[in-house]
Each structure stands twice: as C-alpha cells, then as structure tokens.
Amino acid sequence: MKNENSNTKQKIQQTALDLFSKRGYSAVSIRDIGKIVGVKESTIYYHFKNKQDIFQTLLFEVQEITSQMTLLFNNQFEKTISVEETAFIKVGLGVLEGFLLDKHIIKFIRMLMIEQHVNEEAALLYQNILFDTPLKQNEKVFQLMMDKGYFKQDDAMRLAVEYYGFIYFIFQRYFSSKEVTAQAKEIAKNELSVLIKRFYKMYSK
C-alpha cells in the first residue's frame, strides 16, 4: 500500500495501547506491535521516532480525552442535574459505565495504572484523570445541588470524595484486572446503586 493517508499509523497506535494496557510498556516489543498490525518493525519506525514516541503519543491522547471530558461536563452539567433519586443514581452508574468502563478509555486507564510507577508523566495523568478531574466535577455538582436547595448545606468537596470514592472503589474491585463482562457489570452496578442510594438519603433534603 503506497497510500499516504494510510491508517497504518492509527493501527500502530491502537495496537500499542492495547498491548501496553495488558502487558505494560517494557514487556511489549516493536515486533509484537508490528506482527499484529501486519507490518515490519522498520515501518513502525517510519511512523514513529522510536518506541517511547508511541507511548508519548498515547499520553497526549489521554490529555485530550481528559480535556474533552471537562469541556463536555462544563457545558452540560447544569441542564442534566436532577433532584430525583433514580436520576441521581443513574448519573453515578453512568460515570462507571460510560466513562471508566468505556472500551477505549479503560485501556488508557490500565496503561496509566501500570506505567505511573515508572513514568512521571503517566503518574500525573493518572492522578488527573482518576482523581483530580472527577472530584472537581463532582464538587461542582454538589455545590449546585446545595445552592438550589436540593441538598443540605455541607462541604461540597467532602461529599465529592465520599461519592466518587465509592465509584472508584467499585471500579477497582471489579475491574482492576478482570475482564469487563456483562455479568461483572451487573454486580458492580448493583453494589454501587446501594451505596449511592444511602448517600442520597443522607444528604438530600
């Protein structure tokens, strides 16, 4: 294929993400990636400067995803906030299912989970995508809920930690290394529902 707009580069990136998230950066060789994509190593070096360059490109993609999420959230959150318990639970389950367990995003998360111990930049991104950003977003939500009188006055950030803490814990417990099956999802969602329900009963007016 002598196509300048070939999607080989994209395929390499995708495959690298897939393998890095399963085995970790250092256990994946350029040949491994090439074999799956169906090209020789030298082709990979045509598209990327070196192995680290592939990784850096993926880290850049994480940053973009995080920014997009924040933007989307900021533009939409006032509209979607609801007072009702069922809707409130749905939002929490949505974070788990629509974000953390998204087929693409979970690969980034797992890659960062492994590489945070080796790579400073990965550590910062992990902190950002899994703690700082969601906590800040939840803080905003709870502050708004209080301002609108739906929730009792309290420390919004504390509520955020408590609420998002549940989601993170369930996510780690059921999916830190296990496959995301429909069955596991059901168990996790049920468990999370119980926790969110209690939370809602406690803090809503």
What is the binding site for a second copy (CB under 8 A)? 21-27, 110, 113-114, 116-118, 123, 126-127, 131, 158, 161-162, 165-166, 168-170, 172-173, 176-178, 191, 194-195, 198, 202
Q: Considering the rule CB under 7 A, would residue 52 count as an interface residue with DNA?
A: yes
Among 22, 51, 90, 136, binds DNA (CB under 7 A): 51
Q: Cβ distance 100 to 129 under 8 Å?
A: no
**Does residue number 30 form part of the binding site for DNA (CB under 7 A)?**
yes
Q: Binding segment for DNA among 38-46, 87-95, 147-155, 166-174 (CB under 7 A)?
A: 38-46
Give the separation between CA 145 and CA 182, rounded to whole angstroms.
32
Q: Which stretch binds DNA (CB under 7 A): 39-47, 146-154, 161-169, 178-186?
A: 39-47
The whole-angstrom separation of Cα 203 and Cα 95 is 20
In one-letter notation, the amino acid at residue 44 is I
3 state DSSP class of 204:
strand
8 touching DNA, by CB under 7 A: yes
Residues 151, 154, 157, 161, Cα dihedral to 10°: -80
> Which residues on adjacent β-strands are paired with residue 151?
204
- Tell me, what DSSP letter sits at residue 3? -
Question: What contacts 181, CB < 8 A, 6 or more positions away?
Answer: none
Q: How far is the CB of 122 from a second copy (least distance, A)?
A: 8
Residue 121 contact among DNA, a second copy, none, beta carbon within 5 to 8 Å by kind: none
If the CB atoms of residues 39 and 167 are measured against a second copy, the closer one turns out to be 167
Region of 22-30, 63-71, 163-171, 194-202 interacting with DNA (CB under 7 A): 22-30
- Nearest of 169, 202, 199, 193 to residue 90 by alpha carbon: 193
- Chain residues binding DNA by CB under 7 A are 1-6, 8, 28-32, 38-43, 45-47, 49-52
